[in-house]
Chains A and B, each alone.
Chain A
Amino acid sequence: MRTGSLICVVDDDEEVRDSVGTFFRSAGIKVVKFAAAEELLAFPDLATMDFLITDLHMPGMNGLELQRELRRQGNHAPVILMTAFPTAEAREEAKRVGIAAFVAKPTDPEMLLEQVNALLAA
């Protein structure tokens, strides 16, 4: 894995967000955390983001809309979508818009890490 990769986490739930951050930190990966999609979009270093892990359901802009917005802005960083409601429609939509991975909560962070590593290695 490349050192110095910029991984962003967006989740409106503080505990989930912090725990994801803590896990990646324990794995030696630094993450930047955001409470809402809008906050990420306002992040000055957004262009250098290597990877995004985001919640699907959030007040304001949701995870899918965020992905669309990033693509629209020309940002093609891979996106992992987490959700507590893994409905077929959501899964279909995620596939359609080119989400890298769709995971159901509670998520296994080790798996998340594997996927991040695999995607970053690709």
Chain B
Amino acid sequence: MSVTPRPILVALAAAVALGVFAIDYFSSLDGAIAVLHVAAILLVAPLGRRSVIVAGLGTAFLTAAAFIGDHLDHPTEGALSRLVVSLVAITITTLLSLRDRSTRTTLGEQARILELSHDTVIIRDRDEVILHWNDGAERLYGWSREEALGEPCNTLLQSSFLSAEVATALETVGQWSGEVIRTRRDGTRLVLTSRWLLRRDPEGRPIGVIESSTDVTEQRRADAERHASEERYRTIFEAAGFATWESDWSQALDLAAEGAPSDESLEAWLAARPEQVQTAIGSAVIRNVNRATIELFGAASKEDLIGKDLCGCYLPECTPEFAHIIAVLAGGTDTAEIETRLRTLDGRIADIVLRVTVLPGCEGWSHMLVMAFDVTERNEARARLEQTSAELAHAARISMLGELAASIAHEVNQPLTAIINYGKSARRWLARPEPDLAELSECLEKIISNGTRAGDVVGRVRSLARKATPQTEPLDFDDLINDAIALIQHEARALDVVIRRSGKAYSTIVGDRIQIQQVLVNLLMNGIQAMRDIGAHRRELCVSIDASRSDHVRVEVRDCGTGFPDGGAMRIFEPFFTTKQEGMGMGLSICRSIIEAQGGRIEASNNVGAGATVAFTLPAVKAEWAAEREPIS
């Protein structure tokens, strides 16, 4: 729209006003010439309120001035009435111009609002031809206003909507809102929510439609994706191979921590109040379960579990574990894990690892994810393995004692021989005409000490032969080594082997006494036997303890024997691998199992000089642990 510049309009208006004044004042025309001033007012009307008011007042002044100059000395009735008519005309024109201006401003603002809208606003005539196309439509559809105006809307945008429904709605209620699918200029499909209003002429006849639409393509896509994601996670939840369920623990924390002092560990406090923990656990209600949960609990369907609590399933002795879970979660950690036992709905007792996670974004503990891994079979297998290992170790000890039978017989026979000799000596001292009581007493002392000696041998053998469940206890390592050496002492002597000891175990070792002694005896025997065929060479078996490290104690058995054949040092711990003709090859394999089960390591290597060294380590225990378990004397 072309706009006449402001100064030109003002000048033109002033010229008109002055022209009218001149004619009014100087000519003797008999008419209301001043009425023509309205032309000046209309000329400045587009310039604004102030211009209209100035023009109105100015022209009124000129009209009055012309009247005063021309007719004041002889005012006629006609002149006065013309003045009044002119002033009324000027006033009316001024007021109308002011109102027209205000209406235009409102309309202009409304038009601008249409443009400002992010939504698309399209006005169509009855034949779908586009009459208005706002900035929003330009941006969304990709067609410029010039390209769109005059085009049939549904063809341009390949619209797809429920046309029958739309037609009915427009006809009956004059408006429709719903979803429209359209195509952008670049071919992209768009989903829009649209609101259509029927346009009518002043007589009420339909003349087209004005519509406003919002692009919801991205929202629909996000919705679809969220839905797909929810479906996916639901499937994962359902199909998980382990039991998992969602619970509402909203009241659990309040119930558990009710009355808990702030200066004490919650776990310790709860441990002393099992009934409070059980009440808290009983308040947890299952929201949803997966298939594996139904199987774990031996339930018939989800309904057996959803909406229920698991109070009857958790065993009373497992309350401390639940106190731990509550305390850990109350401390702000989002996941806690325990191993516990539960009674299933069909009465089975299951060992489970239970992991509880506070789901993000939930109020309090309203949504907790619980996962349960049934480890019953694993625990049973582990127990069976432990039992089998213990039995195997026992069998190996018995076999080892069999190898030592001759030595043991000798070790028992020596004190027995002495006992008999002293006994018969005593009888002779007593049978003398004058019994020698001092000699008799000496003999009795010797009988007692040799009896004790024989008893010790039997004790050592019996302890090694004992079939006991492995126990963990603090061990006096020096004692253990002395006992082991005593058992094989005769064997060593028979082969002229000298046993040397060095080092001392300062750290406390915990482990199973019998099994560790078994390892020691086994290594000592192997060392002795390795030196059987080395002729007149030095025969030394060195047992040394290295306790210089704080975390473990290392025991080394070094012989001067024939050493391992090439590669044998690596293989001697394998079952059925043996370097002895009469060996079964199980001894060291069992030794390795024993040492590793107690957290240690065992290794073998040939010495630089003659012979080989087999060494094992056992973890040293922290002083407080040992102190805690030492008997109170």
Q: Which residues of A contact B (CB under 8 A)?
A: 12-13, 15-16, 18-20, 22-23, 25-27, 57-60, 82, 84-85, 105-110
Contacts and interface: CB of A to CB of B under 8 A. Distances in A.
15 contacts: A13-B414, A19-B420, A22-B425, A23-B422, A23-B424, A26-B428, A57-B494, A59-B493, A59-B496, A105-B410, A106-B420, A107-B421, A108-B420, A109-B421, A110-B424
A85 B496 CA distance: 17
B409 interface: yes
Interface in B397-417: 406, 409-410, 413-417
Given A23-B425, A84-B409, A109-B421, 8 more contacts: A13-B418, A15-B415, A26-B428, A85-B406, A85-B410, A106-B420, A107-B421, A109-B424
Contacts, number: 82
A22 B421 contact: yes
A28 B528 CA distance: 43
A60 B536 CA distance: 11
A21 to B, nearest CB: 9
B446 interface: yes
A47 B527 CA distance: 41
Contacts of A110: 424
Contacts of B409: 84-85
Given A15-B418, A19-B425, A60 B496 contact: yes
Contacts of B449: 15
Contacts of A26: 424-426, 428-429, 439
A19 B457 CA distance: 19
Interface string B443-485: 1001001100100000000000000000000000000000000
A34 B221 CA distance: 105
Nearest to A110: B424
Given A26-B425, A59-B496, A109-B424, A16 B406 contact: no
Given A59-B496, A85-B406, A22 B422 contact: yes
Interface of chain B: mostly helix, strand, loop or mixed: helix
Given A27-B428, A84-B409, A16 B414 contact: yes
The winner among B419, B425, B450, B496 for most chain A CB atoms within 10 A is B425
Interface in B170-194: none
Nearest to A113: B424
A79 B36 CA distance: 172
Nearest to A17: B418
Nearest to B453: A15
A95 B416 CA distance: 26
B493 A12 contact: yes
A17 to B, nearest CB: 9
Given A26-B425, A109-B424, A19 B413 contact: no
Given A26-B425, A85-B410, A106 B439 contact: no
A16 B496 contact: no
The winner among A15, A16, A19 for most chain B CB atoms within 10 A is A19
Given A26-B439, A84-B409, A106-B413, A19 B493 contact: no
Contacts of B406: 85
Contacts of A19: 417-422, 425, 446, 450
A84 B414 CA distance: 8
